[in-house]
Amino acid sequence: MKIGMILDAEFPPDPRVENEAISLVKAGFDVFLFCLSYQTSNQENYKGIEVRRYQSSKLEYKLSALTYTIPLYTNAMKQKIHHFISENDIDALHVHDIRVAEAVYRANKTKKLPVVLDLHDNYPEVMKFYPHLQKFPGKYIISPKKWKRKESEFIKKADQVITVSPEFIQSLEDRFPKLKSKFKLVPNTIRKSFYSDYTIDESITERFKNNFTLLYLGDTHIRRGLETAIKAIPNLIDEIPNIKLVIVGKNTTDYILKDLVKELNVSAYVSFEGWQNMNLFQSYILASDICISPLQRNIQHDMAYANKLFQYMSFAKSILVSDAIAQKRLVEQIDAGLVHTEKEPKDFADKVIQLYRNPSERESFGKNGEAYIKNEFHWEQTSLELITLYKNLQN
């Protein structure tokens, strides 16, 4: 079977797309990946994946935000995807999220190939937090409600729907009780190689060796809750004078965090590392004492896991998370760390101090998380549902 994956972005990097495609290739499927290039069209075999890059432009990228306001983006993508399907004799389509879904269904109108819809996020909820939707003109011309209606339409049309957490599955079953058999769980876990095949950058571990380090990895948008961690620093300095909050990641809202650090006069205790190559993640984790995910609660965060949790746990680090439902349930279920109330710096600080004062508790939490990842929640195990789905589709 030739599986045509559709990603309306550049590739690499996209860990979920790459993990799924490689697993399907190893299971004996031919995987062709449609993606975009902002330079020229090209193709290559990437780790067994037949990558087909179609030329795009920054204008098309900007139009993608208006996908369900005006059809210009959909029409442009439809032509490219139609060519991709015909040129590679595709047997089934795997659509990565809903922005490009309309174009896929239109391109597939004649062939009527089976479609697997892969919901990476609760997209209509996530987009409410995008900066361009907070101000004119985006606030008035882009409607998350319309995106929600489109999402429902695509879910009903799809042959199978994949998503990333039990909470997300439950929300879909609640919305579409008659479609329960369509929904499959393929969580964003990490490959074994993340914790078994890596190189330590000693400049990183050396730099933080004398600190009690709190580590955050990933997107730093305000909704990720880093304001809570920064506001907690003044409550931690007296108890932990060598405290250091290390932030590895970036977002356009970083100026808010940096202004807050200056306002609180805690610049000596916070290190903004910016975005770093993923090959350095292991070194940052090894250099840390506690790893954090202080998400603000919203519909998306309550039903999705951050991949950073699994990265943290694979190196036996105790974790501190906010009470966003999915991550709270996970951490408490496996006893891998502590939970603080979202947006509450004092509670965050209290939990950090508890872990600081109890090294044996940190060690115990870390071992529990490590065992969970290595014994049952790594990609090679959780991807079996994806492989089974396509074997059934093939038959």
* Domain shared by 250 and 173, yes or no: no
**How many domains does one find in the chain?**
2
Asked whether residue 179 falls in the same domain as residue 234, the answer is no
145 phi/psi in degrees, rounded to 5: -65, -40
pLDDT value of residue 71: 85
Predicted local distance difference test score (pLDDT) of residue 63: 82
Residues 228 and 126 in one domain: no
pLDDT at res. 140 = 44
Pair of tokens at residue 179: 């479609």
Spatial separation of the C-alpha atoms in residues 264 and 259, rounded to whole Å: 9
Domain with 167 in it: what CATH number? 3.40.50.2000
What is the Cα–Cα distance from 200 to 16, expressed in whole angstroms?
Answer: 24
Residues 113 and 185 in one domain: yes
What pLDDT is stored for residue 203 in this prediction? 97
Provide the whole-model pTM.
0.85
Give me the half-sphere count of Cα atoms (radius 13 Å) on the Cβ side of residue 146. Answer: 12
Same domain, residue pair 151 and 295: no
Asked if residue 33 lies in contact with residue 11, where contact means CB atoms within 8 angstroms, the answer is: yes
- pLDDT for the residue numbered 135: 62
Q: Say yes or no: 385 and 344 in one domain.
A: no
Residues 197 and 60 in one domain: no
In contact, 6 and 104? CB cutoff 8 Å: yes
Q: Within the chain, which residues score under 50 in pLDDT?
A: 140
- Residue-range definition of the domain harbouring residue 270: 192-375
pLDDT of residue 136: 60
Predicted local distance difference test score (pLDDT) of residue 123: 63
Do 83 and 232 share a domain, yes or no? no
Residue 14 and residue 139 in one domain: yes
